[in-house]
């Protein structure tokens, strides 16, 4: 007889499907795509400002490139949070919540600095919808927050 434990493998714990995790992933990926498109648009806009010349155009170009870089980083982090939610990592909940706060702040800054456009409501609405999904019981439990 061997002193080692039996070779019967213990069954892997099964995780229940949570449809709201799928919705969360879709919303985070939609944010990633939208902010990537925004980063490209802002970079193109900054390139147009570079052609104009002058000190005001140079300041505007720098601001637009900075905003494009921030949008690009947001897109990367949103994709990472979506991947973490898929694998049910606890940090994904925190990262997604922080990203929504940053999205709302960024949209607010855009409202304050640029001319009003109804498209700004998309940023606020997307942040609100993701926060509602994040605050549901099944998502909090699946991501280890409850």
Give Cβ neighbours of residue 130 (< 8 Å, ≥ 6 apart).
24, 27, 28, 31, 96, 99, 100
- Tens of pLDDT, residue by residue over 15-41, are 678 899 999 999 999 999 999 999 999
Q: What is the pLDDT of residue 15?
A: 62
Distances (CA, A) of 95 to 1, 80, 88: 51, 9, 12
Q: What is the pLDDT of residue 56?
A: 60
Q: What stretches in the chain show pLDDT beneath 70? A: 1-15, 50-56
Q: How far apart, in whole angstroms, are the C-alpha atoms of residue 138 and residue 146?
A: 9
Q: What is the pLDDT of residue 112?
A: 93
Q: What is the pLDDT of residue 59?
A: 82
Domain boundaries, the chain: 19-142
Q: 50 near 14, Cβ under 8 Å? A: no
């Amino acid at each position: 007889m061997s002193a080692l434990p039996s070779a019967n493998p213990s069954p892997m714990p099964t995780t229940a499907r949570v449809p709201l995790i799928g919705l969360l992933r879709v919303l985070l990926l939609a944010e990633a795509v939208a902010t990537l498109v925004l980063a490209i648009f802002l970079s193109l806009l900054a390139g147009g400002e570079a052609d104009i010349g002058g000190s005001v155009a140079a300041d505007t170009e720098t601001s637009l490139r900075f905003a494009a870089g921030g949008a690009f980083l947001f897109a990367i982090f949103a994709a990472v949070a979506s991947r973490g939610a898929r694998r049910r990592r606890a940090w994904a909940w925190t990262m997604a919540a922080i990203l929504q706060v940053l999205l709302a702040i960024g949209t607010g800054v855009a409202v304050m600095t640029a001319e009003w456009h109804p498209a700004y409501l998309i940023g606020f609405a997307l942040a609100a919808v993701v926060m509602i999904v994040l605050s549901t019981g099944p998502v909090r439990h699946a991501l280890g927050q409850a």
